[in-house]
Structure 1
Amino acid sequence: MNETIVCAVGNVATQPVYRETPSGPSARFRLAVTSRYWDREKNTWADGHTNFFTVWANRQLATNTAASLSVGDPVVVQGRLKVRTEVREGQSRTSADLDAVAIGHDLARGTSAFRRAGKPETAARTARPEPDWETAAPHTARPAAGPAGLADPTDPADSADPDGRGEPAGPDGQGVAGPGQPEDEPVAVT
């Protein structure tokens, strides 16, 4: 297929518009991409020309776009470039659209917290339940602390002795230091 796939890095310029269509969800927003260059005369970085693209997202990408993006968010968009020329009222207008394949926050300019989207209802009805892989540990031969020496807060035995010192828990849930034993001194558990 002869397509032009591009990757654009910029900021969301308009709030995403979400629509339910007969072919599925659709969302669109404007993306502002400003070039940066080193200005030798001023000895600093400067903004260059700003290009605007209309980004189109479909199906699950449209739903997630509408739920995740706001005006000003730095994003990276990968998609098919479509340049259109229209004649309106005797004037020719050219616009550049991106039919998005992937959209994400630009982590070079901030942080983001990822959450998986819920599955559609049809898939949830036909999906099999998750098997229970965990097995109960026998209580006869258990170590004083959980994995890697950490106490298991859900186990009543560990909450009574949170640090494995053989001491009851104090009012703050931590072990109470015994006489001559400072609170921060490491204790070897055998």
Structure 2
Amino acid sequence: MNETLVTVVGNVATTPVFRELPSGPVARFRLAVTARYYDAVQNVWADGHTNFFTVWARRALGSNVQGSLTIGEPVIVQGKLKVRDEERGGQHWTSADIDAMTIGHDLSRGTAAFRRVLKANAALTDPAAAREPVLEPEPEPEPVG
């Protein structure tokens, strides 16, 4: 109920790792988020600190991540932030994970071509669902006045 929802913009830092688990498909990758600031003394934009997040994508989102993302691509990730503080083998570490609800390419930095994924169950029950959709021509605009 009191989840910390975040939206982060950054670059895919590692190749997405995809696994089929008993609970369903899961993909994870690291996201690099670098702050930018204007350096008035040098009159240039400069890079600030880089934060790294582990992004977890489950079910259909995980399957789509596997076929859509590669290292270096700019993305926008929205999801639940989970900060973990752990100790293993005498070493203390903190990690920031995002349980993603949605992921998309950052179109302010490039273009993308969307491909709709057909659900496997729809293709089994309705053979028409397995075919490419038929696009209807747009109607002619009505004359004004």
Same fold (TM over 0.5): yes
Q: Distance in 2 between matches of 1:128 and 1:112?
A: 29
Q: Distance in 2 between matches of 1:58 and 1:100?
A: 8
What SS does the corresponding residue of 1:3 show, helix, strand or coil?
Answer: coil
Q: Please report how far the alpha carbon of residue 128 of structure 1 lies from its aligned counterpart in structure 2 after TM superposition.
A: 6.8
Aligned to 2:96: 96
Residue 38 (1) aligns with residue 45 (2): no
Q: Please report how far the alpha carbon of residue 100 of structure 1 lies from its aligned counterpart in structure 2 after TM superposition.
A: 0.2
Q: Distance in 1 between matches of 2:65 and 2:38?
A: 33
Q: Distance in 2 between matches of 1:125 and 1:85?
A: 45
C-alpha RMSD of matched pairs (Å) = 1.7
Aligned to 2:125: 126
More strand by share: 2
Q: Please report how far the alpha carbon of residue 89 of structure 1 lies from its aligned counterpart in structure 2 after TM superposition.
A: 2.4
Stretch deviating more after TM superposition (86-95 or 73-82): 86-95
Unaligned runs of 5+ in 2: 141-145
1:27-65: per-residue Cα shift (whole Å, max 9, x none)? 000000000001111111100000000000001100110
Larger radius of gyration: 1
Q: Distance in 1 between matches of 2:91 and 2:23?
A: 32
Q: Percent identity?
A: 65
Aligned to 1:48: 48
What is the TM-score of this pair, normalised by structure 1? 0.66
Unaligned runs of 5+ in 1: 134-146, 149-190
What is the TM-score of this pair, normalised by structure 2? 0.86
Aligned to 1:106: 106
Aligned to 1:85: 85
Q: Distance in 1 between matches of 2:72 and 2:84?
A: 26
